[in-house]
Structure 1
Amino acid sequence: MGNNSGVSLEDLCACESHHWYRKFMTECPSGMLTFYEFKKFFGLKNLTPASNAYVQCMFSTFDMNNDGFIDFMEYVAALSLVLKGEVKQKLRWYFKLYDVDGSGCIDREELLLIIKSIRAINGKTDEMSAEDFSNMVFDKIDTNGDGELSYEEFMDGIQNDEELLTTLTESMDLTHIVEKIEAERTDQ
């Protein structure tokens, strides 16, 4: 994670956790974050249907007990994983996020949907189109050529390709969300 505005990983330590808890409880007094509140919490408005579907997938991966809500412990676990997790932990989460239909494999359409949605949410445009990027990923790591990425292909392929690992990690960087929450905290 970058450290552009004084926000660091240490902001999630015990000395700061009360601020995160206060933000969570201010936005979600019931202690149970719904999908609507999740989008509001992270300032995600006016999303395209594809981006909304991606955010729904992200919400579902954070909802670890599948009850339709994110409680504070799930929220902290998710932030900790995304911000501080080891590469393998993050890749496991990315795989689950990209496997939109839960089939245990990622197909080209799923990857393309997620890449387009991430770019729309982050407001980034890259030199390479989402289609070209998806094709490059499959060309590099679909070792058996079946048009799907198994968990093993995904994990091994991404870890063994520095360009893909860097691109994937940067696309999922949530530093801007942490900075936004931290800015709101200091404004209070």
Structure 2
Amino acid sequence: MIGSASCTRPLHQALIPLAVSVPPAALFIRGKTRHIEMEEELDTAPALERQRPPSIDYLFEITNFSRREIQQLYRSFKELWPNGTVALEQFQAIYASIFPNGDSKSYAELVFRNIDQTRVGSVTFLDFITNYSKIAKGTVDERLDWIFTLYDTNKSGYIAYNEIFHVVKSMYQMVDASLQPTALATICRQHVKIVFKNLNIANGGRINKEEFMQRCRADTEIVNTLEVFNSFSTGLLNF
């Protein structure tokens, strides 16, 4: 559980989202017992009112996953969402099942909006796998780019105080819904203050993507924490 003491934690823990890999983890838990056969195309069956993904060769070219990993991900995705798309409410339900003691709706929506970059109100397998590729197997720059976009909630190209506060508040609510509003606001303000200090952002100011990535790259703790996603994702895919 996150408490007020966590406000003193270093920048790398303050910046990196708590649950960017939660949806893939949930997919594997639900779908790992199903036998997976190798096939040239992900899905060749007729599709009525169902979103068909691109070919496995195309996904292999644009992501960092192997062909077998792509098939594993697709089988699990299709098992949960047979029509090939995920609505916001379904996405939020995944988070709610993993964080039963918190209110994860706001944070889940932030992640959903970050994946649904075409703003159509649903996430396809293509959306899912390209974003997860950045998180799970991307370069440091790809991961930092994804995190910046998550925090840039109004898509202005800058991260401002109110945006960081909103994301941080959503993260705390996701973990512990029992926090009282006054205590929650105090914790979040302290948390955001640490982020601003370590990123060298003037009080009340903002930071663009280039500055954000440059300052995060210079922090070895951030880089090391981002590398944790490699071993985490490898463990999920090797079943």
TM-score normalised by length of structure 2:
0.56
Check the 8 A contact 1:81/1:89 in 2, yes or no.
Answer: yes
Please tell me the root mean square deviation across aligned C-alpha atoms, in Å: 3.4
Residue 118 of structure 2 aligns to a residue whose secondary structure is coil
Residues 1:141 and 2:194 are matched in the alignment: no
CA gap 1:146/1:173 in 2 versus in 1, 3 angstroms:
farther
SS at match of 1:30: coil
Could you tell me which residue of structure 2 aligns to residue 70 of structure 1? 123
Among 20, 37, 42, which residue is 2:90 paired with?
37
Q: Which residue of structure 2 lines up, in the alignment, with residue 113 of structure 1? A: 166
Deviations 1:27-69 (CA, angstroms, capped at 9, x unpaired): 1111111112223345356552xx4222112101111322111
1:58 to 88, 91, 111: 111
Flag structure 2 segments of 5+ consecutive residues without an equivalent: 1-20, 22-64, 177-186
Q: Secondary structure at the match of 1:70?
A: strand
Residue 20 of structure 1 is aligned with which of 73, 77, 98? 73
Amino acid of the structure 1 residue aligned with 2:121: G
Deviation at 1:135, TM superposition (A): 1.1
1:138 and 1:149 in contact (8 A); partners too? no
- 1:140 partner amino acid: N
Q: Secondary structure at the match of 1:33?
A: strand
Kept in 2: contact 1:118–1:171 (CA 8 A): no
Equivalent residues of 1:38, 1:59 under 8 A apart: yes
Q: Secondary structure at the match of 2:207?
A: strand
Q: Distance in 1 between matches of 2:81 and 2:169?
A: 29
Structure 1 distance, partners of 2:88, 2:122, is 7
**Is the contact made by 1:105 and 1:150 (CA closer than 8 Å) also made in structure 2?**
yes
Deviation at 1:174, TM superposition (A): 10
CA contact (8 A) 2:148 2:209 kept: yes
Structure-2 change in CA distance of 1:175 and 1:37 (3 Å): farther
